[in-house]
């Protein structure tokens, strides 16, 4: 994948100025989330205090295609939504993780027991550029086949299933996927795999 394009975040016109952090107060610090209350001055000179910034680790999404053109998916409980949600497997990049593809391979294996023969990064998107510091890396994992038992973390309650790509594509507009970041990564990977066109 090439470097981020010059748009839309490219060079700002002269009248646009970046915001300045005047002060920062740590509110929460733990292995999952750092929450800061910042005082910022906007480019136009307004002071916003507090302005909440959440510092998360980057996340990966493994969009795994089987040789018979099915997607490997998981259905798991999402406490924020208070619902069972269908999504591609994925997870948090650990502090030592440098390669989104390696992290995606690990998450695919841990959550589903599948392994892929070819993995490639097809896009990276900000989770919420207004308040979050992390990005979601979409990895296309082709040639995915069962490779043993899953190795889920404590507290992970999920079901592994596969669905034909055509059924997934049709389900996108019917609300099959409700997580915006997962939907974005899924669409990037399906386009890279030649299964959809924008």
pLDDT on residue 52: 97
Residues linked to residue 143 through DSSP beta bridges, in sequence order: none
Task: Report helix, strand or coil for 107.
Answer: helix
Which residue, among 76, 64, 94, 86, has the nearest Cα to 189 in the 3D structure? 64
Mean pLDDT, rounded, for 139-166: 88
Higher pLDDT among residues 30 and 152, named by residue: 30
pLDDT on residue 157: 80
pLDDT on residue 130: 93
Mean pLDDT, rounded, for 60-66: 98
Full-model pTM: 0.86
**Residue pLDDT, tens place only, 7-26:** 566 555 556 789 999 999 99
pLDDT on residue 2: 46
Q: Are strands 83-87 and 118-126 parallel, antiparallel or unpaired?
A: unpaired
Angle separating helix axes 180-192 and 165-172, nearest 10 degrees: 130
């Amino acid at each position: 994948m090439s470097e981020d394009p010059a748009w839309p975040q490219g060079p700002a016109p002269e009248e646009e100025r970046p915001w300045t952090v005047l002060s920062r107060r740590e509110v929460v610090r733990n292995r999952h989330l750092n929450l800061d209350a910042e005082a910022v001055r906007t480019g136009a000179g307004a002071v916003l205090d507090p302005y909440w910034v959440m510092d998360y680790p980057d996340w990966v999404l493994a969009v795994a295609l089987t040789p018979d053109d099915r997607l490997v998916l998981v259905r798991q409980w999402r406490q924020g939504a208070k619902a069972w949600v269908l999504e591609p497997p994925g997870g948090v990049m650990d502090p030592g993780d440098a390669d989104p593809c390696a992290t995606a391979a690990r998450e695919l294996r841990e959550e589903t027991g599948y392994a892929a023969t070819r993995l490639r990064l097809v896009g990276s998107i900000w989770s919420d550029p207004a308040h979050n510091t992390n990005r979601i890396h979409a990895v296309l994992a082709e040639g995915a086949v069962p490779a043993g038992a899953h190795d889920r973390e404590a507290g992970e309650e999920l079901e592994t299933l596969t669905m034909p790509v055509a059924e997934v594509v049709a389900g996108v507009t019917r609300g099959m996927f409700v997580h915006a970041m997962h939907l974005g990564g899924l669409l990037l990977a399906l386009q890279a795999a030649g299964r959809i066109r924008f």
